[in-house]
Chains A and B, each alone.
Chain A
Amino acid sequence: MAHMTNPLATPDQLFQRRSLGALPMELQDMIFFSTQCLTQAAGLLLQLPQSVTAQANVLLARYWLVENMMAHEFSVRFSSSGLSLSPNDEPKKLNGVVLQDVSAATLYLVAKLSSHPVSPRDVAYIYTYLLSSCSAFFHDPSSPPPPPPPPPFGPETTTTTTTTSTPSPSEKNTITPYLSPAAYQSFHARLLHLEGLILAALGFDTHVALPHPLAITYLQALDFFSFHKDGGGSKEAGKKALAARTVAYLNTALLSPQVLYLTHQPPALAVAAVYSAARDVGAKMPECEWWEVFDVEREELGFLVVGMRSVEGWGRKMRGDMKEVMGGRERGMLMRKDVEGELKRRGLMIVGDEVQNGSKMMVDAEEEAAKRLDEKMAEMESG
């Protein structure tokens, strides 16, 4: 049964996340959303199959139920000074990479256990690129400058990176994301360190059962692939659309702030995705309570369908909110300093969190300087 079940979050874990978190809920959601998106983007660029990336998403969500969101980020900051990027871009990325190490570490861990392992170096390059200003990640399509493709990363460029970046030399003066050996060393150290922390927090249980294969099986079992009355195109196209829509719902649900993958077992998720997709595509569903065949209750199905369908709109709104928090920056990843800035704006101090965690967290002078520099950068950018 292991291939169909997941360990689920306990009520206490869910409750704690909602109530005791040092961060306001919407900020937590924002961090969650942007980090999950970052993981997906990195998975794509590393040419990992979605089964691997989705597992990383689920593990990351689990990790954040066990570990406080901000707590671990403090704990991995130990060697951030070793990370030096191209000089004029330094502070921003320095902060960003450190903030998003968790994403990199889970992805690395899951890939290591899968049949598609990736090297730490590839991970380092991909994340450096994604967090640099030349990446297309979280780039608003309406804003004018089209994202230049990632330039090659130097002699050690692997096939993974070159194939994903269609090498069309851009004439525009963009900052080349460059990872110095020292920066790589420190990234590597943090990656392995964080990997251990994640494993310990999850009790070394890395098992994730995904609903995707189940959903396809259910579609077949329901004969959706043969008796499908589609609206416009050919029958074949209709089938494809249905399957694609189902998988899209499942993938979108990974980003849901309701952590649906941690509260419901894969069969329920699969049924809900099939139901929603069939509704969208206009496929005819059986008249009877067919979900009971797959051991899903009507009530649970209803809850999941609402949950899944709401993620898209919620995500759009999240993007808008993020822009606000990021001080009008059009694109790029939500940075740790953004969260801190927003907290300051709201008059909330992160100190409370530090006291709570009992860690002797001092905002060191270096960090302060980096932040100030960063703010100046933001001003220059917006001005």
Chain B
Amino acid sequence: MASKSKSRWADDEADAALEAQRKKEKEEKKRLKAEKARKLEAERKAREAAVAAAASTSQQAGDDPDRGPPTKRRRISPERDEPPQTSGATTTTDSSNLLRFEGGKFGRSRSVENYDKLNDIEEGAYGWVSRAKETATGKVVALKRLKMDPKDRSGVPVTGLREIQILKDCDHRNVVKLLEVVVGDDTNKVENIFLVLEFLEHDLKSILEDMPSPFLASEVKTLLHQLTSGLAYLHDHFILHRDLKTSNLLLNNRGRLKIADFGMARYVSDPPPANLTPLVVTLWYRAPELLLGETRYGPAIDMWSAGCVFGEMLTREPLLQGRNEVDQLTKIFELCGTPSDETWPNFRRLPNARRLKLPPRPTPSSVRAKFPLLTTAGASLLGSLLSLDPSRRPTAHEVLEHEYFQQDPRPKAEAMFPTFPSKAGQERRRRRETPEAPARGAQVSSGMDFGAVDFGGIFARREREERGGGFSLRMV
């Protein structure tokens, strides 16, 4: 329905009046600005005069303490009464541009009494986690208590110390931050050790369990991209996480994912040392080479776990839920096919692979068939992450470059992420009064005149927007 009246955008008297007013306001603003500048100028002049006067007096008095030679070396006696010198003044005088190495400092741990416990979050195999508030600042943090086994004769558990050291060394947006380590109040005995971590509202596992509808394809991409960039950082720094799973991936209400729980993590050399324990990673996320007893493994085991997490984000169900090691391996072979010398050279030399009875003809991978809703690029990425042969799995950097992230739908901006009620923050899901979805097969109401409204513009440029999951065709 085309309107025959004058265009809405044509000029008329009202527009002219508005224009005139706008001009007037502009001029007024200009005048104020000029006046302000004049005032500033006057002030500056006055200040300069004062400084000049001060300089002349100080020159008479001898040399000026503020203008003495800049201190280059670290001072080794504490400053007493002098005002702290600005760091800018000391660095600019260096003729050559030398890199300063900042390593921070060391000092005694604070007491846990600086925090008020709010509520327990969870108890893991490795420690208790609770939500707490720093008394002085009101900042909400997560307190993770290291489990100390009094029967353990080797003292502070080495896993805990490794976790602390690794987290201290890490600084990445997708790795959870360790704020400090505090100890129990009794300073003579160190029995209670608490890691103060930044608090994130969710873990991916409970979100996946509770969310009413699965993540959109764009959201899965964002999450996977964040997970992989965190992993790329860790692997670049020679850290293996060794326990990636959805419950160890935290998510805040701004759509930021962070890798947490480094209780299994460790530094490794490249090439990896030969004596690593294959008893790492939660069973459902454990790579096949670990199940076969490999002791010389590398970052590829984390990539396998990332593949499992990827699959879980798509289906909201853990991908491979084995009951025990053997069953887990069966499930893996069911999904990814059985290994052969072509798909996984030399797998027979692994300790547990020698007795393995495999069907004479290797079966192909069924990843593509199991994820019919995934795009071809997505399926190829998932399939490569779930390669039986660790050397065929892509590195974290290769995943980040994968075309899956370039294709539509593009990864959703973190800021656009939906929020969820936080279990850890003890929030409840609020039920809103919303109209029910129409029942299937209900009659279209006939009283409304759709011809009266112009819908022409509302879907304009829609094809340029980021597309969510929407509806897709089933392929099988």
Interface residues of A (CB under 8 A from B): 1-2, 4-15, 62, 66, 75, 108-109, 112-113, 115, 117, 120, 188, 191-193, 195-197, 199-207, 209, 263, 265-267, 289, 292, 295-297, 299-300, 303
- Report Cα–Cα, A295/B109, bound state, in Å: 32
Q: Report the separation of the CA atoms of residues A1 and B103 in the bound assembly, to the nearest whole angstrom.
A: 9
Render B102-114 as a binary contact track against A, CB cut-off 8 A, 1 for contact: 1111111100000
- A196 & B190 in contact (Cβ 8 Å cutoff): yes
| Complex Cα spacing A8 to B105, Å | 5
Contacts of A62 in B (CB 8 A): 106
Q: Which among B73, B158, B187 is the interface contact of A299 at CB below 8 angstroms?
A: B73
Find out whether the CB atom of A199 lies under 8 angstroms from the CB atom of B156: yes
> Contacts A195-B156, A267-B101 given; 13 further ones with Cβ under 8 A?
A4-B101, A8-B103, A8-B105, A10-B107, A11-B74, A113-B161, A120-B153, A196-B155, A197-B190, A201-B108, A207-B165, A207-B168, A295-B100
Closest to A192 in B: B155
Q: Which residues of A contact B372 (CB under 8 A)?
A: none
Task: Tell me the interface secondary structure of chain B in the complex.
Answer: loop
Nearest chain B CB to A157's CB is how many angstroms away?
Answer: 19
Contacting A115 at CB < 8 Å: which of B77, B105, B187, B273?
B273
With contact pairs A6-B103, A196-B189 given, residues A204 and B181 touching in the complex (Cβ less than 8 Å): yes
Evaluate whether A15 and B77 lie within 8 angstroms (CB atoms) in the complex, with A197-B190, A200-B109, A205-B106 already known.
Answer: yes
Q: How far is the CB of A180 from chain B (nearest CB, A)?
A: 18
Size category, B interface:
35 or more
Q: How far is the CB of B316 from chain A (nearest CB, A)?
A: 38
Closest to B188 in A: A75
Cα A191 to Cα B156 in complex, Å, equals: 11
> Shortest distance in angstroms between A316's beta carbon and chain B's nearest beta carbon?
25
In chain B between 88 and 102, which residues have their CB closer than 8 angstroms to a CB of chain A? Answer: 96, 98-102
Question: Is A206 a contact partner of B161 (Cβ separation < 8 A)?
Answer: yes
B193 at the interface (CB under 8 A from A): yes
Minimum C-beta distance from B113 to chain A (A): 14
When each residue 401-438 of chain B gets 1 if its CB lies under 8 Å from chain A and 0 otherwise, what string results?
Answer: 00000000000000000000000000000000000000
- Kindly state whether residue B67 has any CB partner on chain A within 8 Å: no
Greatest chain A CB density within 10 A among B79, B106, B156, B273 is at B106
Taken together as a complex, chains A and B put the C-alpha atoms of A1 and B156 apart, in Å, by 27
Among residues of B, the one whose C-beta sits closest to the C-beta of A105 is B155
Cα of A263 to Cα of B156 in the assembled complex, Å: 28
In the bound complex, do residue B103 and residue A196 qualify as a contact, i.e. CB atoms below 8 Å apart? no
CA distance A148 to B193 in the complex (A): 44
Q: Which 5 A-B pairs have the closest CB atoms?
A: A196-B190, A5-B103, A204-B181, A192-B155, A295-B99
A299-B106 contact in complex given A4-B101, A15-B77, C-beta closer than 8 Å: no
Cβ contacts under 8 Å, A193 to chain B:
189-190
Query: Does A203 contact B96, Cβ atoms closer than 8 Å?
Result: no
Rounded to whole Å, the gap between the CB of B45 and the closest CB of chain A is 40
Residues of A near B156 (CB, < 8 A) are 192, 195-196, 199
Q: Determine which of A10, A191, A192, A295 lies in contact with B101 in the assembled complex, contact meaning CB atoms within 8 Å.
A: A295
Instruction: Please give me the residue from chain A that is nearest to B99 by CB atom.
Output: A295
Output the nearest chain A residue to B152 by Cβ-Cβ distance.
Answer: A192
Pick the contact of A196 from B72, B106, B191 — CB < 8 Å?
Answer: B191
- In whole Å, how far is B62's beta carbon from the nearest beta carbon of chain A? 26
Q: A120-B154, A207-B169 are in contact. Are A303 and B187 (CB under 8 A)?
A: no
Question: Is the CB–CB distance between B158 and A113 below 8 Å?
Answer: yes
Q: Identify which of A4, A7, A112 contacts B161 (C-beta below 8 A).
A: A112
With A115-B273, A205-B168: A5-B102 Cβ-Cβ less than 8 Å:
yes
Is B124's beta carbon under 8 Å from chain A? no
Closest to A65 in B: B106
Which residues of the other chain, B, contact A14 by a CB distance below 8 angstroms? Answer: 76-77
Assembled-state Cα–Cα distance A200/B191 (Å):
10
Say yes or no: A9-B105 contact (C-beta < 8 A), given A115-B273, A199-B156, A300-B73: yes
A-side contacts of B107, CB under 8 Å: 10, 13, 66, 202-203
B132 contacts A by Cβ under 8 Å: no
The 18 sampled A-B contact pairs (Cβ below 8 Å) are A9-B105, A10-B78, A11-B75, A11-B76, A15-B76, A113-B161, A115-B273, A120-B153, A197-B188, A199-B190, A200-B108, A200-B183, A203-B109, A207-B168, A207-B169, A265-B103, A266-B101, A292-B98
Q: Give the distance in Å from the alpha carbon of A193 to the alpha carbon of B148 in the complex.
A: 13
A196-B191, A203-B109, A292-B96 as given contacts; A1 in contact with B101, CB under 8 Å: yes
The answer to the question of B117 belonging to the interface, with a C-beta cut-off of 8 Å to chain A, is no
By a CB distance below 8 angstroms, the chain B residues around A195 are 155-156
Q: Mark B188-212, 1 if CB is under 8 A from A, else 0.
A: 1111010000000000000000000
| A206 contacts across to B, CB distance below 8 A | 161, 164-165
Query: CA separation between A267 and B75, bound complex, in Å?
Result: 19
Smallest CB separation, B378 vs chain A (Å): 36
A113 touches B103 (CB 8 A): no
Cβ–Cβ contact B155 & A112, under 8 A: yes
Complex CA distance for A292 and B97, rounded to whole angstroms: 9
* Binary contact readout B145-182 vs A (1 if CB under 8 angstroms, 0 otherwise): 00000000111101001101100110000000000110
Alpha-carbon distance between A40 and B183 when the two chains are bound, in angstroms: 30
Q: Is B77 in contact with A11, judged by CB distance below 8 angstroms?
A: yes
User: What residues on B are CB-neighbors of A267 within 8 Å?
Assistant: 101
B-side contacts of A6, CB under 8 Å? 103
Complex Cα–Cα for A5 and B108 (A) = 20
Q: Across the interface, which residues of A come within 8 angstroms of B181, CB to CB?
A: 203-204
- A217 CB to nearest chain B CB (Å): 15
Most buried by B among A2, A11, A200, A267: A200
Chain A residues near B164 (CB-CB < 8 A): 204-206
